[in-house]
């Protein structure tokens, strides 16, 4: 920095002294307790599995050969992919229902928002009641006559994953619905009228007016939800525990149960990279203007 | 057209039942006798009710320690977040757009970092600093996720306070701090209230940092986790209901402030 620009810099500081003092506690907190720990976790991930030897890839090579980690990676991607698609479909159906006028619409909207008022750990325990072998889902299937013997939802690969997907859907579909509803409300009603006059049916109006105009909202819902789905933690932890590890619960088990902060840090760093990729995709797709609205 | 109406009504009823049932079963279990739940064929309706689970958690006084800890942590988190976020977000809102924008965006993205990645070094450090299991430690940890949210809400609020009013006040001889206190903060009060309530709520229902930073002194969400791991459905359901009640009430009271963006990174699995 040349002398001229440095003195300019100083002048700016003294001119904005008041602002800087106001912002300082916030900046210190974010650097001390968010950016700092993230960097610390990344540094820890480059230590050996028993600490020391910085920098080394020992912790990474340990976890990528750990079958448990491979399961966690697969499960996270499965839950994200399947969950996201289903949440988008159901969120769209719900948003379309709510954009109609019908008797009891206000109550229906209130009911749909109920999951937003339920802490995730609570919804996890509720889903555990439903998907238990003696749970309510098995009883329902039995009464309808679909099954004779109760299904054990915890065995197999896909079954426990699907229970987690359903649990996640229950909790977050209302959020997707809210985003898409905001999009539907932004569409000019005259477009539909015009299409109707031209003889377009319900499906054609949806396919050629609603869907294209909703695209930015769909992208926003997909990426915001995608990042959250990568970080899924409480639901798999409570509903399946060690049987179905995901990235977050893998990092948790490595630290809390196996007492190994370094492999846990490596797992968390890989998760961080996945999220950074998702954020970049988001910024590219939506553009920075949309984010803070 | 009529067929369509019937189809719509059926869909509404179907989704309504789907959304309510998990919450209904939770409340039902918390007031049911064991014979209605632990059988081959649990009942859907409420038959043999009992208040014994609720009475048990209150009569053994077991509920009070976690309840008070959750209350303390949530209240302190809201207050401390406010103390840091009000001045910070006011200053950010008065910065030129070119600087303000990346700052707000950066804060927004810190909410998307993996919490297990932040909680790990925090936990390692807190062991050294003796902050494990303490109220202060958990308050600091909760502020990691809540401070950016509150700042974000408040920057939006302060942006709506016209700069002209501040200039008028300074011409009338008010200092900048005085202007902030007498003009800006009163005008931003509704937004500050919304931010405070969201901060309180976010801390009350928080689980991840709590589970990393707690050994023995559990909060209410950890109490739910503790009992589900022990296989006690009745106490799980009772604690779960207790934890959810304030969240449900506040969520409905604050319904019109629930924007998708506020919830981004707040609702996760």
A41-99: pLDDT as tens digits? 999 999 988 877 888 899 999 999 989 999 999 999 999 999 999 999 999 999 999 98
- pLDDT tens digits, one per residue of B64-85: 999 999 999 999 999 999 999 9
Q: Where are the domains of chain B?
A: 61-263
Residue B32, helix vs strand vs coil: strand
Q: What is the pLDDT of residue A255?
A: 94
CATH 1.10.3720.10 fits B61-263, yes or no: yes
Q: Nearest C-alpha of chain B: how many angstroms from A81? A: 14
* Portion of chain A with pLDDT greater than 70, in percent: 94
Q: Which of B42, B88, B105 is opposite residue A291, by nearest beta carbon? A: B105
- The verdict on residue A5 lying in a domain is no
A&B contacts, CB < 8 Å:
292
- The verdict on residue A7 lying in a domain is no
- The verdict on residue A160 lying in a domain is yes
- The verdict on residue A10 lying in a domain is no
Which of A59, A91, A118, A176 to probe the B interface (max B CBs under 10 A)? Answer: A118
Q: What is the pLDDT of residue A20?
A: 87
Contacts of B261 in chain A (CB under 8 A): 291-293
Give the 3-state secondary structure of A196-250: HHCCCCHHHHHHHHHHHHHHHHHHHHHHHHHHHHHCCCHHHHHHCHHHCCCHHHH
For chain A, what is the domain count? 1
- The verdict on residue A162 lying in a domain is yes
- The verdict on residue A250 lying in a domain is yes
Query: Can you tell me the distance from the alpha carbon of A174 to that of A109, in angstroms, rounded to the nearest whole number?
Result: 9
Dihedral (CA of B193, B198, B199, B205) sign: positive
- pLDDT tens digits, one per residue of A191-247: 888 998 988 888 888 998 899 999 888 888 888 888 889 999 999 999 988 889 999
- The verdict on residue A6 lying in a domain is no
**What is the CATH classification number for the domain harbouring A111?**
1.10.3720.10
pLDDT at B265 > cutoff 50: no
- The verdict on residue A281 lying in a domain is yes
Q: Nearest C-alpha of chain B: how many angstroms from A3? A: 23
A289 or B269: whose pLDDT is higher? Answer: A289
pLDDT at B240 > cutoff 80: yes
The tokens describing A39, both together, are 């960097």
> Scanning every residue of chain B, which has its alpha carbon at the shortest distance from the alpha carbon of A180?
B260
CB-based contact B144 A34, cutoff 8 Å: yes
Query: Can you tell me the distance from the alpha carbon of B244 to that of B219, in angstroms, rounded to the nearest whole number?
Result: 13
Give the single-character DSSP code of A54.
Answer: S
Q: Which of A102, A229, A233 is opposite residue B116, by nearest beta carbon? A: A233
The tokens describing B116, both together, are 């297990």
Average pLDDT taken over every residue of chain B: 88
């Amino acid at each position: 920095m040349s002398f001229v620009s440095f003195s300019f810099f100083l002048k700016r500081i003294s001119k904005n002294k008041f602002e800087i003092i106001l912002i300082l506690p916030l900046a210190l907190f974010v650097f001390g307790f968010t950016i700092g720990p993230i960097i610390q976790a990344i540094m820890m991930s480059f230590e050996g599995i028993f600490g020391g030897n910085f920098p080394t890839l020992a912790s990474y090579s340990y976890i990528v050969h750990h079958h448990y980690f491979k399961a966690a990676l697969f499960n996270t991607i499965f839950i994200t992919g399947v969950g996201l698609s289903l949440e988008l479909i159901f969120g769209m159906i719900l948003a379309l229902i709510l954009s109609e006028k019908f008797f009891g619409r206000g109550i229906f909207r209130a009911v749909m928002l109920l999951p937003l008022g339920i802490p995730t750990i609570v919804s996890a325990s509720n889903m555990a009641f439903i998907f238990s072998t003696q749970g309510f889902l098995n009883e329902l299937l039995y009464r309808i006559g679909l099954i004779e013997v109760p299904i054990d939802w915890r065995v197999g690969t896909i079954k426990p994953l699907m229970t987690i997907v359903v649990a996640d859907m229950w909790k977050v579909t209302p959020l997707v619905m809210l985003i898409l509803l905001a999009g539907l409300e932004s569409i000019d009603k005259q477009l539909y009228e015009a299409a109707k006059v031209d003889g377009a049916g319900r499906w054609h109006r949806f396919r050629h007016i609603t869907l294209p105009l909703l695209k930015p909202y769909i992208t926003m819902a997909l990426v915001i939800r995608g990042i959250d789905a990568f970080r899924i933690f409480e639901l798999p932890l409570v509903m399946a525990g060690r049987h179905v590890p995901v990235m977050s619960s893998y990092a948790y088990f490595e630290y809390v149960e196996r007492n190994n902060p370094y492999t846990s840090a490596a797992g968390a760093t890989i998760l961080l990279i996945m999220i950074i990729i998702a954020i970049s995709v988001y910024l590219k797709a939506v553009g920075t203007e949309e984010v803070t609205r | 057209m009529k067929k369509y109406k019937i189809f719509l009504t059926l869909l509404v009823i179907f989704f309504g039942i789907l959304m309510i049932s998990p919450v209904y079963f939770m409340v039902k279990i918390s007031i049911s006798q064991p014979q209605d739940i632990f059988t081959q064929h649990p009942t859907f309706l409420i038959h043999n009710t009992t208040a014994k689970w609720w009475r048990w958690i209150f009569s053994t006084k077991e509920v009070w320690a976690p309840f008070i800890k959750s209350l303390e942590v949530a209240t302190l988190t809201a207050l401390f977040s406010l103390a840091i976020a009000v001045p910070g977000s006011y200053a950010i809102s008065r910065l030129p757009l070119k600087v303000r924008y990346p700052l707000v965006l950066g804060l927004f993205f810190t909410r998307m970092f993996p919490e297990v990645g932040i909680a790990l070094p925090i936990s390692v450090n807190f062991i050294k600093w003796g902050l494990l299991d303490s109220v202060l430690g958990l308050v600091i940890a909760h502020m990691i996720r809540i401070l950016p949210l509150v700042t974000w809400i408040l920057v939006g609020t302060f942006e709506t306070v016209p700069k002209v009013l501040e200039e008028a006040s300074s011409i009338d001889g008010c200092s900048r701090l005085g202007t902030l206190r007498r003009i800006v903060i009163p005008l931003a009060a509704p937004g500050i209230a919304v931010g405070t309530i969201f901060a309180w709520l976010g801390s009350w229902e928080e689980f991840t940092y709590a589970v990393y930073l707690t050994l023995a002194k559990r909060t209410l969400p950890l109490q739910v986790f503790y009992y589900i791991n022990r296989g006690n459905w009745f106490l799980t359901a009772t604690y779960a209901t207790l934890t959810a009640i304030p969240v449900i009430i506040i969520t409905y009271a604050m319904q019109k402030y629930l924007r998708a963006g506020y919830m981004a990174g707040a609702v996760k699995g």
